[in-house]
């Protein structure tokens, strides 16, 4: 009997050990419950280079806590530092290995990374077929980066020595000349010795062979050791606020073969199961609307059979008022989803949801919950992003007047770090680095930076015009004075704010059209140190035009120029499709501005017609795309010109392009078609009806595609914008075709934005929500781990092959946390359409 029990015990022990070991799953990453190692599932890009979203990544108890595992050329890589191209990735299931080939073409340097599952962890080995290039000796090393917000204030051990991760950046550096840095991206070519870490090398916080991270937090504990190389811990925040903690080993010189190896073991809590994420609208619910919570569960979790709704009484006590069945939806990527429908609860009050041991924060059921969903965006976020103005709020200056010196002509054949390029000529009458007078007026900062992206600003003005023409919002909470170049928040001035926003955007775009002769790609920073500037936009430049005849910091005797190369540049290569979009916008703006600023309105219409003709001619000489001459932009231009002028030839051209475009892609084109409904002749709406039916089928398919019933983006920029545009289209489709698109469809987009989405249940709109909107965003104040009220986050970011995330303790990943002027003004339309449509 003892022998049998012994045998059984031994067998169970083997099974338990096997259960604890990593497996290489069908999605080609290593996993065990609570720990996932992604091995080059997400690759570095050649656009923004190091986006902190690639390489070897660790998802630790549901949170991506480490990334960037690769051979790098710096101990603390910054965003525009060189990244390796991953040219090959191999899976060997028999050996349980994933191998990737990394290449730095600038150095003709190749390496191979082989990652092997071993017991509870992985071995990472670096192989070189040729010795390290001389230029990279002492610079190239293997790095793995850890998310600071998940480790600060936690302990760590190095060869038995105790220490603690700092909450704020600390450490020592060495000064060195810029020329000592390995060849990096062009943004390091600056004119002076001010700026970021071009002239310093961080020193390690610790060095040793055995690291233990966070022994005081089992959910974040990681062991790293190397038998053949020293490990060094660096604080990347010493160079840039978005830096991570970096564990690094330098590659040895003169060696080939297996030159470096680590073992990495992330601790897995026994029996760990991710806590349910109870998705619901933080803003609350109307009494009459559908109320469905989507609950995201670990696939190993056993779903509850019911959930309950509790109401808080006037005495502060909670009373269960409803219990309902949990309805399974199914699996969606990493998690399992169920739904809890409490639509039958209609009594106004303060509620929370209880699912098993988890209860949510409270929310309201009340008839006015949507009344103020756009106010923070329109009253605060948008005016703060007005360029060429001083913006004040109470005792606070958000920024002074930026870029008083204006914009210089970008030199030909210039690549820009934000993916713009000046072509072989300037396409203007201005010479390289010549001042283009008059561009420093109007316009909106693009996002968390301070450039004017022309394409985005075109869309912004159109968003404002659409909001104005449909809804005529009379809200006046912002003082705007163009002569004083001054904005004061929460101070009425007698004019609807949105008209002033239309005017402000049109001023800059019209200046481009009239002065340059066409639309610029962007008005942006000439050097990288200026581009990643945080704080007051007015302090990016010295306000004085660059004078090449002066010394580096010399100011001219007349005080109007200096020798500092900090001026913004205008990238002016002509793009006729951008001109077409501008023609569309100018036509729309001319209508809205009529009676408010007639001179601006008339000039806008003149430029609309001119740009339409010139751009159409230019495009006619280019190869045609599938959408025909001008594509969708041309279609919208003709519509806006018809609305502005009433000339039937524009309507005829619009209709000629519309119907084929709807046949190709109804979900993309329907919004433009719906914009035309109030202005088209009798019969148009009936001809449009079959396409709305087709769009209804698209909506129904979304219910099958994911548990939230909205389009969920899976790219490097999260999908809130898609959800907003979807919601706006649904609202207008319901307005004109209520028999096809019923009112219950209107709530899906709002629910998703306000908290019913994957990963967490925070509202994605800053300050908007019951007790839990998101707290940090990627804005120009991101270094303060703060937000600008009314900001709309890109949202829930997808990491291949199956992980959704949105950090609310780390603002620096723009793909999930950066609000844009385009996205926020699109939300303005949605909010106005939504709150009117549901009443």
Q: What is the pLDDT of residues 788-823, one digit of tens each?
A: 999 999 999 999 999 999 999 999 999 999 999 999
The pLDDT, as a whole number, for residue 430 is 97
Over residues 666-677, the mean pLDDT reads 96
Contact present, 510 and 458 (Cβ < 8 Å) = no
CA-CA distance, 233 to 155, in Å (whole number)? 13
The yes-or-no answer on residue 809 being catalytic is yes
Q: What is the pLDDT of residues 588-625, one digit of tens each?
A: 999 999 999 999 999 999 999 999 999 999 988 876 55
Q: Which of 349, 344, 323, 332 is nearest to 294 (CA)?
A: 332
Whether residue 818 lies in the annotated active site: yes
Provide the pLDDT for residue 624: 59
Q: Which residues on adjacent β-strands are paired with residue 141?
A: 72, 250
> Which is it for strands 63-72 and 141-146: parallel, antiparallel or unpaired?
antiparallel
φ, ψ of residue 592 to 5 degrees: the values are -65, -35
**Residue 741 DSSP class:** S
The pLDDT of residue 420: 87
pLDDT number for residue 620: 85
The 10 Å CB-count burial string (b at 16+, else e) for 334-358 is bbbbbbbebeebeebbbbbbbbbee
In order, the DSSP letters of 135-171 are GGTTT-EEEEEE-GGGTTT-EEEETTEEEE--SS---
- Please compute the mean of the pLDDT values over residues 344-359 and round it to a whole number: 98
Measure the CA–CA gap between 805 and 816, rounded to whole angstroms. 8
pLDDT of residue 632: 47
d(CA 339, CA 7): 45
Return all residues near 31 (Cβ < 8 A) that are at least 6 apart.
22, 23, 25, 37
Mean pLDDT value of segment 748-775 = 93
> Rounded to 5 degrees, what angle do the CA atoms 639, 645, 648 make?
65
The pLDDT value recorded for residue 630 is 40
What whole-number distance in Å separates Cα of residue 189 and Cα of residue 468?
A: 45
Mean pLDDT of the chain: 93
Residue 785, exposed/middle/buried by CB under 10 A (0-12, 13-18, 19+)?
A: middle
Residue 555: predicted pLDDT: 96
pLDDT digits (tens, 9 = 90+) for 706-732: 999 999 999 999 999 999 999 999 999
The per-residue pLDDT for 194 is 54
Give the list of residues 6+ apart from residue 750 with CB closer than 8 angstroms, or none.
281, 283, 370, 373, 727, 834
Which H or E run contains 232? strand 231-235
Catalytic residue among 145, 201, 453, 818: 818
| Residue reference for tokens 């109030």 | 678
pLDDT digits (tens, 9 = 90+) for 169-200: 988 999 876 545 544 444 333 445 555 556 78
- Tell me the backbone φ, ψ of residue 331, rounded to 5 degrees: -90, 145
pLDDT at 198: 61
Does the structure show a pLDDT above 80 at 626?
Answer: no
In DSSP terms, 308 is beta-bridged to 323, 354
pLDDT at 457: 98
What average pLDDT does range 78-92 have in this prediction?
Answer: 94
Looking at residue 4, what is its pLDDT? 44
Which among 596, 633, 437, 401 has a CA at the least distance from the CA of 501?
596
**Tokens describing residue 40:** 């080059």
User: What six digits make up the tokens of 337?
Assistant: 């989803």
Identify the structural domains of the chain with CATH numbers, from first to last.
2-266 (2.70.98), 294-357 (no CATH), 370-466+485-575 (no CATH)
Q: Is residue 412 classed as helix, strand or coil in its secondary structure?
A: coil
When pLDDT is averaged across residues 420-425 and rounded to a whole number, the result is: 93
Mean pLDDT of 417-444: 95
Give 263's strand partners.
Answer: 123, 225
Query: Taking residues 407-433, what's their average pLDDT?
Result: 93
* Partners of 666 in beta bridges: none
Per the listing, tokens 């756009």 go with 374
Calculate the alpha carbon distances from 305 to 281, 299, 332, 465, 756 in Å.
22, 16, 20, 49, 20
pLDDT in tens, 123-164: 999 999 999 999 999 999 999 999 999 999 999 999 999 999
Look at phi and psi of residue 528 and say left if phi exceeds 0, alpha if psi is from -120 to 50, else beta.
Answer: alpha
Q: Do residues 625 and 631 lie in contact, with contact meaning Cβ atoms separated by under 8 Å? A: yes
Picking from 521, 496, 532, 485, the residue whose alpha carbon sits closest to that of residue 386 is: 485
Higher pLDDT residue, 20 or 221? 221
Round to whole Å and give the CA distance between 734 and 695: 11
Q: Which of 462, 434, 772 is nearest to 570 (CA)?
A: 434
pTM: 0.94
What is the SS3 assignment for 519?
Answer: coil
In the chain, the N- to C-terminal Cα span, in Å, equals: 75
Mean pLDDT, to the nearest integer, of 289-301?
A: 98
Is pLDDT of 671 > 60? yes
Please give the average per-residue pLDDT across 106-117, as a whole number: 98
Rounded Cα distance, 809 and 254, in Å: 42
Mean pLDDT of 424-434: 96
Q: Residue 521: name the closest of 414, 668, 629 by CA.
A: 414
pLDDT at 67 over 70: yes
């Amino acid at each position: 009997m003892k022998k049998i029990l012994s045998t059984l015990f031994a067998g169970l022990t083997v099974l338990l050990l096997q259960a604890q070991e990593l497996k290489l799953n069908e999605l080609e990453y290593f996993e065990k419950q609570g720990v996932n190692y992604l091995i080059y599932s997400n690759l570095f890009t050649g656009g923004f280079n190091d986006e902190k979203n690639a390489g070897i990544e660790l998802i630790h108890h549901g949170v991506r806590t480490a990334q960037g595992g690769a051979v790098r050329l710096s101990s603390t890589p910054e965003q525009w530092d060189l990244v390796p191209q991953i040219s090959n990735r191999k899976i060997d299931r028999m050996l349980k290995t994933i191998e990737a080939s990394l290449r730095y073409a600038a150095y003709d340097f190749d390496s191979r990374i082989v990652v092997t599952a071993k017991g509870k962890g992985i071995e990472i080995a670096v192989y070189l077929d040729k010795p390290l290039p001389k230029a990279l000796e002492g610079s190239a090393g293997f790095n793995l980066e850890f998310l600071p917000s998940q480790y600060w204030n936690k302990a760590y051990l190095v060869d038995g020595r105790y220490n603690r991760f700092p909450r704020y950046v600390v450490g020592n550096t060495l000064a060195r000349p810029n020329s000592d840095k390995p060849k990096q991206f062009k943004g390091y070519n600056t004119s002076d010795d001010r700026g970021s870490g071009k002239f310093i090398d961080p020193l390690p916080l610790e060095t040793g062979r055995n690291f233990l991270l966070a022994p005081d937090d089992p959910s974040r504990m990681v062991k790293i050791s190397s038998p053949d190389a020293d490990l060094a811990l660096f604080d990347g925040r010493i160079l840039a606020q978005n830096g991570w903690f970096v564990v690094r080993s330098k590659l040895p010189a003169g060696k080939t073969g297996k030159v470096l190896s680590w073992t990495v073991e992330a601790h897995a809590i026994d029996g760990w199961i991710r806590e349910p994420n109870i998705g619901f609208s933080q803003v609350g619910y109307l009494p009459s609307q559908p109320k469905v919570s989507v609950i995201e569960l670990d696939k190993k979790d056993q779903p509850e059979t019911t959930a309950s709704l509790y109401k808080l009484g006037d005495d502060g006590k909670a009373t269960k008022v409803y219990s309902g069945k949990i309805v399974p939806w199914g699996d969606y990527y990493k998690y399992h989803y169920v739904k809890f429908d409490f639509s039958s609860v209609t009594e106004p009050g303060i509620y929370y949801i209880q699912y098993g041991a988890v209860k949510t924060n409270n929310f309201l059921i009340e008839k006015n919950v949507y009344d103020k969903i756009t106010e923070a965006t329109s009253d605060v976020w948008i005016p703060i992003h007005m360029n060429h103005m001083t913006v004040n709020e109470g005792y606070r200056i958000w920024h002074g007047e930026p870029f008083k010196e204006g914009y210089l002509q970008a030199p030909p054949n210039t690549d820009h770090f934000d993916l713009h390029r000046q072509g072989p000529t300037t396409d203007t009458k201005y010479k390289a680095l010549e001042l283009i007078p008059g561009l420093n007026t109007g316009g909106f900062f693009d996002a968390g930076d301070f450039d004017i992206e022309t394409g985005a600003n075109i869309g912004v003005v159109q968003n404002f015009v659409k909001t104005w023409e449909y809804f005529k919002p009379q809200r006046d909470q912002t003082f705007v004075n163009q002569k004083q170049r001054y904005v004061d928040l929460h101070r009425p001035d007698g004019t609807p704010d949105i008209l002033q926003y239309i005017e402000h955007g049109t001023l800059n775009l019209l200046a481009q059209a009239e002065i340059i002769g066409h639309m610029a790609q962007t008005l942006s920073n000439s050097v990288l140190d200026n581009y990643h500037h945080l704080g007051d936009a007015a302090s990016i430049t010295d306000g004085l035009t660059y004078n090449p005849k002066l010394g580096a910091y010399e100011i001219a005797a007349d005080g109007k120029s200096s020798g500092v190369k900090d001026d913004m540049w205008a990238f002016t290569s002509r793009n006729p499709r951008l001109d077409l979009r501008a023609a569309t916008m100018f036509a729309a703006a001319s209508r809205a501005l009529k009676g408010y600023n007639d001179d601006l309105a008339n000039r806008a219409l003149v430029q609309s017609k001119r740009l339409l003709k010139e751009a159409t001619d230019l495009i006619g000489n280019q190869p045609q795309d599938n959408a025909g001459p001008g594509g969708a932009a041309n279609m919208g231009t003709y519509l806006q010109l018809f609305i502005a002028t009433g000339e039937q030839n524009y309507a005829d051209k619009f209709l000629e392009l519309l119907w084929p475009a709807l046949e190709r892609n109804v979900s993309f084109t329907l919004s433009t078609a719906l914009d035309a409904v109030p202005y088209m002749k009798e019969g148009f709406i009936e001809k449009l009806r079959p396409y709305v039916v087709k769009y209804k089928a698209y909506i129904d398919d979304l219910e099958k595609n994911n548990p939230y019933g909205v389009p969920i983006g899976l790219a490097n920029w999260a999908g809130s914008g898609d959800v907003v545009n979807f919601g706006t289209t649904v609202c207008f489709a319901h307005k004109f075709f209520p028999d096809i698109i019923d009112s219950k469809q209107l709530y899906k987009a709002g629910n998703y934005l306000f908290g019913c989405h994957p990963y967490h249940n925070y509202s994605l709109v800053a300050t908007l929500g019951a007790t839990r909107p998101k707290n940090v965003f990627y804005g120009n104040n991101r270094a303060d781990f703060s937000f600008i009220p009314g900001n709309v986050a890109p949202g829930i970011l997808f990491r291949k092959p199956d992980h959704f995330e949105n950090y609310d303790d780390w603002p620096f990943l723009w793909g999930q946390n950066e609000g844009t002027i385009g996205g926020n003004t699109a939300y303005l339309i949605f909010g106005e359409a939504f709150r009117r449509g549901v009443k």
